[in-house]
Amino acid sequence: MRSERNYVAGLYTRLDAARERVEAEYTAALGGTGGTPMERDVQVRASAKELKRLHFGDNGLCFGRLDTLTGEHSYIGRIGLFDEDNEYEPVLLDWRAPASQAFYIATAASPENMRRRRQFHTRGRQVLDFTDEVLGRPDGDARGDAALLAAVNAPRGEGMRDIVATIQAEQDEIIRLDHPGVLVIEGGPGTGKTVVALHRVAYLLYTQRERMERHGVLVVGPNPAFLNHIGRVLPSLGESDVVFMTTGDLVPGRHVTAEDGPEAARLKGSLKILDVLAAAIADRQELPEEPLPVELEDVTVRIDAATAEWAREEARATGLPHNEARAKFTEIISYVLTERAIARIGKGWLTREDKVAWESMRKDLMLELGKHEGFAAALDALWPLLTPETLLGQLFSSRERLRLAGADPVLWRADGEAWTVSDVPLLDELVDLLGTDKADEAAAERQRKADAEYAKGVLDIMHGREDSMDDEDHLYATDLLYAEDLAERFIERDTRELAERAAADRDWTYRHIVVDEAQELSEMDWRILMRHCPGRSFTVVGDLAQRRSEAGARSWGEMLEPYVPGRWVYRSLTVNYRTPAEIMSVAAAVLADFAPSVAPPESVRACGVQPWSRQVGADELAAAIEEFVQAEAGREGTSIVIGPPGVPGTVPASETKGLEFDAVLVVDPERILADGPRGAAELYVALTRATQRLGVLHQGVLPQALAGLDPAGTPVPAGSPRLV
């Protein structure tokens, strides 16, 4: 024990020394001493990233040791450390390194050329104890179960914890899977699919860092509470170039959480909505019922339906998005109007043979049209510049526009811009269908040039250029860095980290995307995500049995084959590490009712506490909930009350997906079951959030699927044994 404590203490000494060295390098670069500005900038960024990595090593730096058959041994930890005198000699292996894999997959039957696996139990920087497993012998000591059960039995905190010290063999296989396309990880409640996916991200960033870190990784979750719950896992593994979003965040500047009803969500989630959007845009490209007069200084001309139709056909024929095709529409209308105006103004004295006079008059008339408010108003009426929000908001708030677009009337709402989660992929799609205003693009280009001019001035000042600068200095300033490049560097460098830049950029593309609770995503959700990842590198996490959304996946192939035909693989997790057997047996009865072909995951443990139920009257419900809350208040860990939408003091099951709590109270399960076609899946989710204790309060008849609950109806008193 003493030698192990000394070795781990030595690792912390190395960690502190490395951190002190990197901090000195960071301070020197930040202070502007040594090297060129570009070199210092690179050093600042590299040092900051290394400091983050070293800081994450403090908690559980070293958690195990592997001994080979030849007597050699290696230590496994959260990060890798090397001997200062020989930087190629590891003194601590990163858990993601190939040489560390045996720590997770070696068994008595398949020892992977290892003799022993040792697991440390630590508090802070101190090694308290260790357990050994002798490999390759059927009578070897059992290691892993003790460490694993200690981890899963521990009270839950505010967020998900990493499992770097207790990764199981089936999990490790998925984490290290070498597949460039889409990996689907399916598993029932408590199987660890989310945390496995996050560790897979950390592994990919370790093995493919140069390819992945420039564009980062996107993690998509079902709601902000879930993202907050998992948000600490990757930073605890030393990875920070990760963006966390819900599907409601995928359009920059548009954060929504409201949900449509089942039918509206189904319609908006289907790819058929693309036809509705196209028709809605075409409907805004109008023809005048009566000719629209444009009163010029010398003559009045009119835009008639025939002219507008010709211009519309020419504009549509360009294949450009709506806003960009407006230029062609305007060009044709302007041509016709100026031709008519010239013919009337020059009647009797101007002929087409007088090309100079004709073109001179055309130029004057074009300038006049360009400033003419009436002409601009006519164009806006016939071919308006549209934003995604304007088009969609006006579509959903108008029954007539919905009818003309061939949309179902159920999509109507009084406030067209009361955005829902299902609207987000539609708004994103419209960015491409509508395009940009060329005038805005021209303004952006002018701003870019202005930034470049400013950056050029900065370069001149940096290198002491004055009017008398000689040619050599001028070449030095020019060759050092183009002004346009410097301008772009200023824009990216000033204040924003990768996550901030990615979240603000609709066109940002990621090297890898993790999609959790993926069974809830619609066809339109997948369309927007595929645009964000041209390389089609995904880790998809879900459980089809827990699908709630009518627009969600009924099979993985149905959703993925259109985008990655033959490039997706499926893996399943079957062991339940979260839900004890007593609770899982109750949840399994509910699962059997609505998904009889799905096998529930097998729990690895029992907690010794039977889940209970109690019937209460309407006037007793609030007091019964408070009794549960008070009973849990004095305990270590977390608790929650889950109920149907609208019940005071409860949280809907949909908002607890992916979360876990030591104790759960489910209220009115009969109402949850009755709440729509996916009520049974909602109840299944609610029942499987608990890691230790489960209670159920019901006002009506207890559903038959819950007959296995203990009818004693008494919360476990504080201080009772938590485990067996």
Query: Is the per-residue pLDDT at 143 higher than 50?
Result: no
Same domain, 115 and 1: yes
Domain range enclosing 562: 182-248+509-573
- Say if CB 508 and CB 215 are below 8 A apart: yes
Task: Compute how many other C-beta atoms are within 10 angstroms of the C-beta atom of residue 670.
Answer: 17
Q: Between the CA atoms of 410, 416, 421 and 426, what dihedral angle is there, to the nearest 10 degrees? A: 90
Rounded distance, CA 687 to CA 667, Å?
Answer: 11
Query: Which pLDDT tens digit goes with each residue over 509-564?
Result: 999 999 999 999 999 999 999 999 999 999 999 999 999 899 999 999 999 999 99
Query: What's the rounded mean pLDDT across residues 591-607?
Result: 92
Rounded distance, CA 279 to CA 154, Å?
Answer: 56
Give domain status of residue 502, yes or no: no
Tell me the Cα Rg of the chain: 33
Query: Is the per-residue pLDDT at 187 higher than 80?
Result: yes
Same domain, 7 and 130: yes
Give domain status of residue 474, yes or no: no
Query: Which pLDDT tens digit goes with each residue over 237-256?
Result: 878 788 999 999 999 988 89
Residues 6+ apart with CB under 8 A from 191: 573, 574, 575, 576, 577, 578, 601
Q: Give pTM, 2 decimals.
A: 0.84
439: closest CA among 316, 334, 327, 328? Answer: 327
Rounded distance, CA 242 to CA 234, Å?
Answer: 8
63: closest CA among 125, 17, 1, 107? Answer: 125
Reduce the DSSP state of residue 667 to 3 states and report it. Answer: strand
Query: What's the rounded mean pLDDT across residues 489-516?
Result: 79
Same domain, 294 and 273: no
Binding-site residues from annotation? 187-194
**Residue 683's pLDDT is what?**
96
Task: Compute how many other C-beta atoms are within 10 angstroms of the C-beta atom of residue 201.
Answer: 23
Beta strand 62-68 with 114-123: parallel, antiparallel or unpaired? Answer: antiparallel
Q: How confident is the model at residue 586 (pLDDT cuts 50, 70, 90)?
A: very high
Q: What percent of the chain has pLDDT over 70?
A: 87
Give domain status of residue 444, yes or no: no
Q: How confident is the model at residue 453 (pLDDT cuts 50, 70, 90)?
A: low
292: closest CA among 333, 322, 327, 338? Answer: 333
Rounded distance, CA 646 to CA 125, Å?
Answer: 47
Query: Which pLDDT tens digit goes with each residue over 69-110?
Result: 988 999 999 999 988 777 678 999 999 999 999 999 988 778
DSSP letter for each residue of 90-102: EEEEETTSGGGTH
State the CATH number of the domain containing residue 559.
3.40.50.300
Rounded distance, CA 248 to CA 246, Å?
Answer: 5
- Tell me the H-state helices in 31-138: 37-55, 102-105
Q: How confident is the model at residue 470 (pLDDT cuts 50, 70, 90)?
A: low
- Say if CB 671 and CB 587 are below 8 A apart: no
Number of domains in the chain: 5
Give domain status of residue 164, yes or no: no
Give domain status of residue 83, yes or no: yes
> CA dist 109 to 105, 114, 144, 234, 385, Å?
11, 11, 14, 33, 70
Task: Compute how many other C-beta atoms are within 10 angstroms of the C-beta atom of residue 244.
Answer: 20
**Least confident residue range of 434-438, 587-591, 644-648, 665-669:** 434-438
- Say if CB 91 and CB 77 are below 8 A apart: no
Higher-scoring residue by pLDDT: 513, 137: 513
Rounded distance, CA 590 to CA 587, Å?
Answer: 5
Task: Compute how many other C-beta atoms are within 10 angstroms of the C-beta atom of residue 113.
Answer: 13
Query: What's the rounded mean pLDDT across residues 372-383?
Result: 96
- Say if CB 44 and CB 18 are below 8 A apart: no
> CA dist 443 to 323, 329, 331, 373, Å?
16, 21, 21, 21
Q: How confident is the model at residue 474 (pLDDT cuts 50, 70, 90)?
A: very low
Higher-scoring residue by pLDDT: 387, 88: 387
Same domain, 217 and 124: no
182: closest CA among 527, 502, 517, 535? Answer: 535
Same domain, 520 and 424: no
**Residue 146's pLDDT is what?**
64
- Say if CB 661 and CB 691 are below 8 A apart: yes
Give domain status of residue 476, yes or no: no
**Residue 493's pLDDT is what?**
46
- Say if CB 432 and CB 321 are below 8 A apart: yes
Query: What's the rounded mean pLDDT across residues 487-508?
Result: 70
Place of tokens 């209460």: 616
Binding-site residues from annotation for ATP? 187-194
- Say if CB 404 and CB 283 are below 8 A apart: yes
**Residue 139's pLDDT is what?**
52
Beta strand 538-542 with 512-515: parallel, antiparallel or unpaired? Answer: parallel
- The tally of CA atoms less than 13 A away on the side-chain side of residue 58 is 7
Query: Which pLDDT tens digit goes with each residue over 295-351?
Result: 999 899 999 999 999 999 999 999 999 999 999 999 999 999 999 999 888 887 878
**Residue 678's pLDDT is what?**
84
Give domain status of residue 167, yes or no: no
Same domain, 378 and 397: no
- Say if CB 11 and CB 75 are below 8 A apart: yes
Same domain, 113 and 30: yes
Reduce the DSSP state of residue 509 to 3 states and report it. Answer: coil
Query: What's the rounded mean pLDDT across residues 38-66?
Result: 81
Same domain, 196 and 218: yes
**Residue 137's pLDDT is what?**
64
Beta strand 300-303 with 690-698: parallel, antiparallel or unpaired? Answer: unpaired
Same domain, 297 and 355: yes
31: closest CA among 44, 19, 42? Answer: 44
Start-to-end CA span in the chain (Å): 29
Query: Is the per-residue pLDDT at 576 higher than 60?
Result: yes
Residues 6+ apart with CB under 8 A from 55: 19
- Say if CB 217 and CB 243 are below 8 A apart: yes
**Residue 486's pLDDT is what?**
54
The last residue of one of the domains, among 434, 469, 500, is: 434
Residues 6+ apart with CB under 8 A from 337: 294, 301, 303, 365, 369, 375
**Residue 485's pLDDT is what?**
56
* Degrees, nearest 5: CA angle 19-20-22: 65
Query: What's the rounded mean pLDDT across residues 674-693?
Result: 90
Rounded distance, CA 708 to CA 688, Å?
Answer: 15
Higher-scoring residue by pLDDT: 3, 51: 3
Give domain status of residue 472, yes or no: no
Phi and psi at residue 167, to the nearest 5°: -60, 130
Same domain, 117 and 209: no
Same domain, 124 and 210: no
Same domain, 642 and 542: no
